[in-house]
């Protein structure tokens, strides 16, 4: 597995997400997303930026309630799906990723 793009930058977990059936076309990039609070725990998660919308999908299962809640997996990730896609609904959350995706923003995928 490759290294996350933000090895030294902290990106916190989003607060509001919803499931989506299919994300738009684009490049998924690996990021270390911090659990937040007083924890140093991080999860490697694939992120796709489409204009101002962030999509996420897991890179591997993490047996932790915060991760399971983020993706809607059951306890111990029993129903883990590597293709599960969520969309972040947090206002302005995408701004943390702009520099990493700058070369791919506003690309017409049609």
Q: Count of CB atoms within 10 A of residue 102's CB?
A: 9
Identify whether 1 is part of a domain: no
User: Looking up tokens 């943390």, which residue turns up?
Assistant: 96
Strands 29-34 and 11-12 come out as parallel
Count of the separate structural domains present in the chain = 1
> Which domain, by its residues, includes 75?
11-103
Identify whether 34 is part of a domain: yes
Identify whether 84 is part of a domain: yes
Identify whether 30 is part of a domain: yes
Identify whether 98 is part of a domain: yes
Q: Each residue's pLDDT tens digit in the chain (110 positions)? A: 588 988 778 899 999 999 999 888 999 999 999 987 777 889 999 999 998 999 999 999 999 999 999 999 999 999 999 999 999 999 999 999 988 887 544 444 43
Identify whether 4 is part of a domain: no
Question: What is the H or E stretch that residue 69 is in?
Answer: helix 65-71
| CA–CA distances in Å: residue 90 to residues 3, 62, 63, 72, 93 | 25, 22, 24, 17, 5
What pTM, to 2 d.p., does this model score?
0.87
Identify whether 33 is part of a domain: yes
Identify whether 39 is part of a domain: yes
């Amino acid at each position: 597995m490759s290294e996350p793009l933000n090895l030294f930058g902290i990106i916190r977990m989003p607060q509001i997400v919803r499931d989506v059936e299919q994300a738009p076309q684009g490049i998924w990039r690996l990021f270390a997303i911090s659990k937040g609070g007083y924890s140093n725990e991080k999860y490697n998660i694939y992120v796709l930026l489409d204009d101002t919308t962030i999509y996420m999908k897991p890179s591997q299962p993490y047996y932790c309630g915060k991760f399971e809640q983020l993706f809607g997996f059951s306890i111990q990730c029993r129903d883990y799906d590597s293709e599960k896609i969520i969309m972040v609904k947090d206002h302005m959350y995408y701004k943390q990723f702009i520099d990493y995706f700058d070369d791919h923003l506003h690309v017409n995928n049609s």
